[in-house]
């Protein structure tokens, strides 16, 4: 009987370790980044290399996992103050800072090394992403709402990174992929900031424009949503190098963008969390579907 109990305990410990690892590296977020990178690669590649795709996926995952681990090391104490994050492995003490730091450093070295094996430019942008997220965005969170602006830079790199991995070039095409995800960051993260405002304030974080849930903040959300839509459909004008889309594709993307804009405008009059949640979900749907639409459009050319 005792051996059976010990076996169950061992399995539980293994499950806990795996779960803690997943929380530290934010597997869900990391996989969404991998998805963006793969979409960018498919857009840029003339011939698809499965080897490069696998390297990009692994390198991208390690890059984001490292950033998240460093972030949680820095925010160990503040994570313990918020309901959403208090059960993470570091604030609960299930994982030591030394272990988390070892994982973060290992992931950084391995991730940049793998991206370098694709081409040096990919490794450069991967390293910039980790640096900005860890050393600039994270320290700025308790200081200024401008942290969201800074955080939008590493957040916008993955889509563009895929193109660079495919072409070994950073030109107007990669720049537009960057801008699409850059402008998308603002309505997405401000919607999250709206939902988590009380929790963030417990930790002393300023995530909304001017740090307030007010009409001025919603106007900012609307502005960046409009900019996101305009940049997303701009390739239809064929002024973005080899990255262009059909008019029907542009119309489809425009209609998809209006779903985000609808909830952003609705939030202007109705400040309830329910509307902010719908805006956040619409933003996740937008960036996922738009990337798929771009790839489908490319293979129809």
What was the pLDDT predicted at 17? Answer: 86
pLDDT < 70 positions in the chain: 1-11, 13
Structural tokens at position 186: 């603002």
Q: Of 164, 156, 180, 172, nearest to 45 (Cα)? A: 164
Q: 173 near 47, Cβ under 8 Å?
A: no
- pTM (2 d.p.): 0.91
Topology, domain 1-170: Tetracycline Repressor; domain 2 (1.10.357)
User: How far apart, in whole angstroms, are the C-alpha atoms of residue 76 and residue 188?
Assistant: 24
Task: Measure CA 41 to chain center.
Answer: 17
172-199 b/e with 16+ CB inside 10 Å = b? ebbbbbbbbbbbbbbbbbbbbbbbbbeb
d(CA 163, CA 158): 9
Residue boundaries of the structural domains of the chain: 1-170, 171-301
pLDDT at site 36: 96
Residues in the chain: 301
State the CB neighbour count (10 A cutoff) for residue 110.
16
Q: What pLDDT score does 210 carry?
A: 79
Residue 12 pLDDT:
72
pLDDT at res. 2:
55
What are the angstrom distances between the C-alpha of 228 and each of 59, 143, 165, 292?
A: 27, 27, 24, 16
């Amino acid at each position: 009987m005792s051996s059976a109990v010990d076996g169950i305990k061992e399995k539980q410990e293994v499950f806990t370790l795996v779960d803690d690892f997943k929380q530290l590296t934010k597997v869900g977020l990391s996989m969404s980044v991998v998805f963006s990178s793969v979409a960018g690669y498919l857009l840029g590649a003339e011939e698809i290399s499965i080897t490069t795709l696998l390297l990009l996926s692994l390198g991208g995952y390690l890059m984001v996992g490292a950033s998240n681990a460093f972030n949680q090391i820095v925010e160990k104490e503040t994570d313990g103050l918020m309901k959403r994050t208090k059960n993470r492995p570091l604030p609960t003490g299930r994982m030591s800072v030394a272990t988390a730091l070892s994982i973060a450093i290992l992931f950084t070295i391995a991730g940049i090394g793998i991206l370098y094996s694709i081409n040096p430019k990919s490794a450069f942008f991967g390293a910039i992403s980790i640096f900005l997220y860890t050393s600039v965005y994270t320290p700025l969170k308790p200081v200024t709402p401008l942290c969201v602006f800074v955080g939008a830079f590493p957040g916008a790199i993955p889509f563009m990174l895929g193109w660079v991995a495919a072409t070994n070039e950073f030109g107007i095409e990669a720049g537009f992929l960057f801008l699409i995800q850059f402008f998308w960051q603002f309505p997405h993260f401000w919607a999250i900031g709206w939902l988590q405002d009380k929790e963030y304030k417990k930790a002393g974080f300023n995530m909304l424009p001017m740090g307030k849930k007010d009409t001025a903040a919603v106007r900012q959300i609307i502005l960046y949503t409009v900019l996101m839509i305009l940049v997303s459909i701009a390739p239809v004008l064929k002024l973005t190098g080899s990255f262009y889309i059909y008019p029907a594709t542009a119309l489809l993307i425009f209609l998809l963008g209006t779903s985000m804009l609808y909830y952003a405008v609705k939030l202007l009059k109705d400040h309830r969390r329910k509307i902010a949640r719908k805006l956040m979900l619409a933003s996740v749907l937008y960036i996922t579907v738009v990337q798929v639409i771009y790839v489908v459009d490319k293979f129809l050319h």
